[in-house]
Amino acid sequence: MTTVGFIGSGNIGGTVARLAVAAGYDVVLSNSRGPETLTELVSELGDKARAASAPEAATAGDIVVVSVPFKAHPDLPIAELAGKVVLDTNNYYPQRDGTFAQLDNDEITSAELEQQKLAGAKLVKVFNNIYFKHLGSLARPAGAADRSALTIAGDDDAAKQAATEFLAAIGYDTVDVGPLAASWRVQPGTPAYSAQYGTFEDPMGTPAPVDKVRAVVAEAKR
């Protein structure tokens, strides 16, 4: 079974880890504070989970979920992520991350900037436009009438296929929005940024099938 590494195990990372374990994956968790701070989550997830350092999680993962503040992406373990499929959940929030002129001027997307830093990795943008509680509650088995879809973007077809297979296993269909250059369509401030899955006040969320997600992605304008 594929092992999924996690660099960042907070709201989104922790939720994806729970879904992955439920689907039968082994997970290796890490965060910026050290493995000893992940004891509670590892205990919750059981014997398919263990805690490690970020470089160790990157090395162990066949797929690696990166869920850290965007401003922290230069500190990611570049060598250990080389050749890996990296599922990037990050968003650029200037009020938190500081300003990046290239992003503010729409010269490049945050995912492209991160891919430049992780030149040897195969980055797929995913999980960045759904509230973590909805991510956990809306997962459904294949064929379910109320199965939701998540968006992906990436420049490597094989990596996007790996991401699609992973999403299918943890309970979601996929809408491919194109290359990393098109990932602005699901960034903060766009119609596809979270609203299709319901409001923050409703932790259970609203199912969003493929057609609904495609429609809101198509509404994005610059």
**pLDDT for residue 187 is more than 80:** yes
**pLDDT for residue 1 is more than 80:** no
The partner residues of 150 in beta bridges, in order of sequence, read: 174
Q: DSSP per residue over 76-114, as a string?
A: S-HHHHTTSEEEE-----HHHH---HHHHTTSS-HHHHH
Domain extent, residue 206, equals 3-218
For the segment 160-182, the average pLDDT, to the nearest whole number, is 98
Question: CB atoms < 10 A from the CB of 20, how many?
Answer: 24
Residue 165: DSSP 8-state:
H
For the segment 202-217, the average pLDDT, to the nearest whole number, is 98
Handedness of CA 148, 132, 166, 92 (dihedral sign): positive
Burial class (CB in 10 A: 0-12, 13-18, 19+), 108: middle
Distinct helix (H) and strand (E) counts, the chain: 10, 8
**pLDDT for residue 88 is more than 90:** yes
pLDDT at 222: 85
For the segment 166-182, the average pLDDT, to the nearest whole number, is 98
- For residues 150 and 175, the answer to whether their CB atoms sit within 8 Å is yes
Q: What is the mean pLDDT of the chain?
A: 97
For the segment 202-208, the average pLDDT, to the nearest whole number, is 97
Tokens matching residue 30: 């890490």
Tokens matching residue 192: 């596809």
Q: How many alpha carbons fall within 13 Å on the CB side of residue 176? A: 15
Q: What is the pLDDT of residues 96-155, one digit of tens each?
A: 999 999 999 999 999 999 999 999 999 999 999 999 999 999 999 999 999 999 999 999
- For residues 125 and 181, the answer to whether their CB atoms sit within 8 Å is no
User: If residue 54 lies in a helix (H) or strand (E), which one and from where to where?
Assistant: helix 54-60
To the question of pTM greater than 0.95 for the whole model, the response is yes
Q: Residue 139's domain is classified under what CATH number?
A: 3.40.50.720
Tokens matching residue 193: 């940024």
**pLDDT for residue 169 is more than 80:** yes
Instruction: Name 219's Cβ contacts closer than 8 Å, sequence gap at least 6.
Output: 190, 191, 192
Percent of the chain with pLDDT over 90: 99
Nearest residue to 87 (alpha-carbon basis) of 142, 31, 165: 165
Handedness of CA 99, 102, 106, 108 (dihedral sign): negative
How confident is residue 184, by pLDDT bands cut at 50, 70 and 90?
very high
Q: What is the pLDDT of residues 19-65, one digit of tens each?
A: 999 999 999 999 999 999 999 999 999 999 999 999 999 999 999 99
How many folded domains does the chain comprise? 1
